[in-house]
Chains A and B, each alone.
Chain A
């Protein structure tokens, strides 16, 4: 059986470090393009979904 954290933010990816804070892994990128790429990698590694909060912040959540 697979055990995983579900419906929780596993990571945050953003080029705007001032907009995020908290006890979650935060990946700071130099621009949106790099953030997109990091989101793709993280979502595939964690078997999770990348969501766009539409303010330049992306979160990785497993459903």
Chain B
């Protein structure tokens, strides 16, 4: 057997394990289709193979082989486009849309996962060549867990506190505490909303959180996750039940109204806490001098 073949196979194996580890089918239920799995696993195998060959190729003075890594990067950018296109098309028939920011976030994650697979394979082969197969496998495992750590972003839990709010009507205006949500004209709809609806108030923890939650994409993501997790009575052609989020312009807190399948406020609050903070929504005014001065 060639001196590198064991190392390359180990590298590919570690890469595939990394991809499988990152292919969790969570509550966002994407990708939940067998074909989605096949696509992502095969691209993961390609990424792992390319990265595993890089170091042995360099050692054999086959410098052109490294340019294949560039080709791979180009290829994986396509994944982001693919995910973005699919999800954007699906939005058209979604009752509560994910929103473009959420889609962009998901697409970015799928692209990044392939780069992490390459990182795992590179480390594995690198360590295997330097210190032997066993150390290589160990290094691969550590990198897999590190990459899992790298991919874990912030959640709404980290930036805000959610409290139950009082859902009530001021004449025809639906309010959560003192935040106006919408105007409801039908008396029957008002009664149903008061009977079965849930209102909560999201208090941002600081000015960074306030700016982040100000983003409409982030708000849509929260509404989408709440609708998926606790269910939603919204029906096409009946906009009275649309879940909505509105801001108290003076304090920056947000009122959220939803008409869930079951009136269980604990679950709604937990669903909000579990929504990821979108990369594109994050703003950090407190990181600048002007922002800090304006905040006090």
Contact = CB atoms under 8 A, between A and B. Distances in A.
Of the four ranges (under 10, 10 to 19, 20 to 34, 35 or more), the interface on chain B belongs to 10 to 19
A31 to B, nearest CB: 13
A40 B187 CA distance: 10
B266 interface: no
Given A51-B185, A52-B172, A52-B184, A1 B92 contact: yes
A54 interface: yes
Contact of A54 (B172, B186, B189, B236): B172
A48 B239 contact: yes
Most chain A beta-carbon contacts within 10 A, residue among B185, B237, B239: B185
Contacts, number: 45
A63 B242 CA distance: 10
Contacts of A1: 92
A49 B188 CA distance: 13
Nearest to B186: A50
Interface of A is mostly: mixed
B186 A39 contact: yes
A58 B183 CA distance: 11
A58 B185 contact: yes
Contact of A40 (B92, B186, B242): B186
Interface string B93-109: 00000000000000000
B171 A43 contact: no
Given A47-B237, A48-B239, A36 B171 contact: no
B38 to A, nearest CB: 30
Interface string B77-103: 000000000000000100000000000
A12 B240 CA distance: 17
Interface residues of A, number: 17
B237 A44 contact: yes
Contacts of A40: 186, 188
Nearest to A33: B187
B54 to A, nearest CB: 46
Interface in A10-63: 36, 39-40, 43-44, 47-52, 54, 58-59, 62-63
Interface of B: 92, 171-172, 183-189, 236-240, 242
Given A51-B172, A51-B185, 7 more contacts: A40-B188, A43-B240, A48-B239, A49-B240, A50-B184, A50-B240, A58-B185
20 contacts: A1-B92, A36-B186, A36-B187, A43-B186, A43-B239, A43-B240, A44-B237, A47-B236, A47-B237, A48-B239, A49-B184, A49-B240, A50-B184, A50-B185, A51-B172, A51-B183, A51-B184, A52-B185, A54-B171, A63-B242
The 7 residue pairs across chains A and B that have the minimum distance between CB atoms: A50-B185, A52-B172, A47-B237, A52-B185, A49-B239, A51-B183, A51-B185
